[in-house]
């Protein structure tokens, strides 16, 4: 981290670090920030510092500039044209944030930190080459074009399923790769299913009498790597009397693009999804990935100034439900097949902090006969995955992962339940780093097992 001398924030008792205080005042980016961020949101921060101990980057780095309060202060400086958003220190502190929103949950003043940091990223370019390449180039091209994403997913599944990955890993041939690429390869989670990806049918019938008509958002990473979980989601919904619609024109939700500052692409993707689900007369639009759900629920805000889409986007957003949120709110068909596993639950940041969903996944897990749920310490602290953060800030990410693995292993659980693909991949990587055999589940994977008679937990 290029963090240097501290400076005192006028009128307050804390210090902000970095060169930002000496930077040339800038107005160009301030004007862009005025267009997308209401100053009221910045003023809501009263600098009390009650969020600091909940902030993973502050806990790891110990710098005010890498705390929620410090970042809000710097963003306000940009808003007022006192520093430039092009300042390298500003950009570094803004992109060092995990966007985990733990500060948002902790803040007694109700500061909407997520909206603030994403607006700041929309005007500040990332610094590191990997952030630019992965964040802007790959997310802004491959993820928005289904054929390209399918080709990339197929390549990955072939790499794993043909045994090439195992051979290269064992033979040591991967040592020729540059260190960053080697780390990225080591993080690759084993894709579920076979070579062909599972695609949700356009319409899946309810099992038994129809109780609800729901839409299902397949996601971008989920169908490529977690096709079994997507299939389990549809089966669990059908078992609860849902007709499930999965329109083929839907696509990536735009969450990763939002988190990396590519607001324009995120808006285009939001419009595509609003159109795809239009006119289906749905009771809810279901998503099983926490990071996506958080962004889908923000479509109303994202498109509030688009005269063609503002109203439909707000309606779409109000209909979005995380699968655990939906199932916990209906009269759940009781699962009857015992699933004898001892699991611990990792709260995904964008479920617990982004959407305020904490009890619902636990309620569903406790409904499964034979399943033992043991709580880990700090289950709602980020595991270090955070979108592409584990690629762009590997040192901090691994430090958070190692702390998380200590807490997981202290429970004696043999499996971890995580409601987001990023967390699942990160925790699987953490288990491989420790050389421990831990199973990774989504809540719906376990519910699906409990709805199938004579089912045995696979090893």
Tell me which residues touch ligand SF4 (CB under 6 A).
Answer: 45-51, 54-57, 68-69, 71-72, 97-103, 106-107, 109, 111, 113
Q: Give the distance from CA 302 to its chain's centroid.
A: 17
Shortest Å, Cβ 382 to ligand SF4 = 7
Shortest Å, Cβ 425 to ligand SF4 = 19
CB-wise, 317 or 386, nearer to ligand SF4? 386
Shortest Å, Cβ 407 to ligand SF4 = 18
Shortest Å, Cβ 50 to ligand SF4 = 4
Query: How many CB atoms lie under 10 A from the CB of residue 433?
Result: 14
Residue ranges with strand state E in 172-291 = 203-204, 212-216, 242-245, 284-287
Shortest Å, Cβ 384 to ligand SF4 = 11
Contact 444/228 with Cβ under 8 angstroms?
no
H or E stretch including 392?
A: helix 389-392
**DSSP letters for 235-289:** HHHHHTTEEEE--TT----SHHHHHTT-HHHHHHHHHHHHHHTTTS--SEEEE--
H or E stretch including 113?
A: helix 113-123
Contact 71/117 with Cβ under 8 angstroms?
yes
Residue ranges with strand state E in 13-75 = 15-17
**DSSP letters for 286-316:** EE--HHHHHHHTTHHHHTTT-TTTHHHHHHH
CB-wise, 77 or 250, nearer to ligand SF4? 77
CB-wise, 103 or 431, nearer to ligand SF4? 103
Shortest Å, Cβ 12 to ligand SF4 = 10
CB-wise, 250 or 403, nearer to ligand SF4? 403
Shortest Å, Cβ 39 to ligand SF4 = 15
Query: How many CB atoms lie under 10 A from the CB of residue 261?
Result: 25
CB-wise, 50 or 333, nearer to ligand SF4? 50
Coil, strand, or helix at residue 342?
Answer: strand
CA distance 175 to 194: 28
CB-wise, 26 or 70, nearer to ligand SF4? 70
CB-wise, 4 or 109, nearer to ligand SF4? 109
CB-wise, 189 or 386, nearer to ligand SF4? 386
Shortest Å, Cβ 244 to ligand SF4 = 33
CA distance 16 to 71: 9
Q: How deeply is 296 buried, as exposed, middle or buried, from its count of CB atoms within 10 A (0-12, 13-18, 19+)? A: buried
Phi/psi-derived region of residue 378, left when phi > 0, alpha when psi is between -120 and 50, beta in every other case? left
CA distance 430 to 416: 11
Coil, strand, or helix at residue 319?
Answer: helix
Shortest Å, Cβ 108 to ligand SF4 = 6
CB-wise, 113 or 277, nearer to ligand SF4? 113
């Amino acid at each position: 981290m290029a963090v240097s001398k501290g400076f005192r924030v006028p009128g307050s008792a804390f210090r902000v670090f970095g060169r930002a205080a000496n930077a040339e005042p800038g107005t160009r980016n301030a004007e862009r920030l005025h267009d997308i961020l209401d100053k009221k949101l910045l003023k809501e921060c009263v600098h009390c510092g009650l969020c600091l101990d909940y902030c993973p980057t502050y806990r790891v780095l110990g710098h005010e500039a890498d705390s929620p309060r410090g970042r809000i202060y710097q963003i306000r400086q940009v808003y007022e044209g006192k520093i430039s958003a092009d300042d390298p220190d500003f950009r570094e502190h803004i992109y060092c944030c995990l966007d985990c929103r733990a500060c948002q949950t902790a803040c007694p003043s109700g500061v909407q930190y997520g909206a603030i940091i994403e607006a700041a990223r929309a005007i500040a370019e990332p610094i590191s080459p990997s952030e630019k390449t992965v964040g802007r180039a790959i997310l802004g091209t491959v993820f928005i074009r289904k054929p390209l994403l399918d080709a990339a997913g197929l390549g990955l599944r072939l790499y794993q399923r043909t045994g090439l990955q195992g051979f290269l890993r064992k033979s040591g041939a991967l040592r020729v790769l540059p260190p960053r690429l080697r780390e990225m390869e080591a993080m690759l989670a084993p894709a579920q299913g076979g070579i062909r990806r599972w695609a949700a049918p356009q319409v899946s019938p309810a099992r038994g009498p129809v109780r609800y008509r729901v839409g299902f958002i397949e996601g971008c990473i989920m169908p490529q790597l977690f096709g079994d979980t997507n299939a389990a989601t549809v089966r669990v919904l059908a078992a609860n009397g849902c007709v499930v619609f999965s329109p083929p024109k839907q696509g990536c939700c735009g969450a990763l693009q939002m988190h990396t500052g590519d607001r324009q692409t995120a808006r285009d993707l939001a419009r595509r999804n609003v159109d795809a689900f239009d006119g289906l007369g749905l009771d809810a639009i279901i998503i099983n990935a926490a990071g996506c759900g958080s962004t889908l629920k923000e479509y109303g805000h994202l498109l509030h100034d688009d005269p063609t889409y503002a109203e439909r986007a707000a309606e779409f957003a109000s209909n979005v439900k995380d699968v655990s949120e939906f199932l916990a709110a209906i009269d759940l068909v009781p699962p009857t097949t015992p699933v004898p596993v001892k699991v611990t639950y990792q709260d995904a940041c964008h479920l617990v902090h982004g959407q305020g969903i904490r009890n619902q996944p636990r309620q569903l897990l406790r409904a499964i006969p034979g399943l033992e749920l043991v709580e880990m310490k700090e289950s709602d602290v980020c595991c270090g995955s955070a979108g592409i953060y584990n690629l762009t800030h590997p040192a901090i990410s691994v430090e958070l992962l190692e702390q998380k693995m200590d807490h997981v292993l202290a429970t004696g659980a043999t499996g971890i339940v995580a409601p987001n693909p990023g967390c699942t991949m990160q925790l699987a990587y953490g288990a491989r780093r420790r050389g421990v055999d831990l199973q990774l589940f989504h809540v719906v994977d376990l519910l699906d097992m409990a709805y199938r008679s004579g089912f045995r937990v696979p090893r």
